[in-house]
Amino acid sequence: MDALTLTLLLTGLLLIAALAAYAWHLWRRVWANQRAQQHAQQERQQRIGGDLNILASSLLDEQLPLIEGAIRIKVLLDNYDSTLSNDSRCQVFHVLFEATANVPTHAAWKVLDKAERRRFEKHFNELELQHKAAARIAARWLLDEGLKRPLTNT
Residue 63 belongs to what H/E stretch?
Answer: none
Cβ distance 61 to 136 under 8 Å? no
Residue whose C-alpha is closest to residue 127's, from 65, 77, 74, 76: 65
**Chain segment 122-131, per-residue pLDDT in tens:** 999 999 999 9
- Percent of the chain at pLDDT exceeding 70: 99
At residue 154, does pLDDT exceed 80?
no
Segment 117-122 shows an average pLDDT of 92
pLDDT of residue 1: 76
Cβ distance 147 to 52 under 8 Å? yes
**From CA 22, how far away is CA 75, in angstroms rounded?**
44
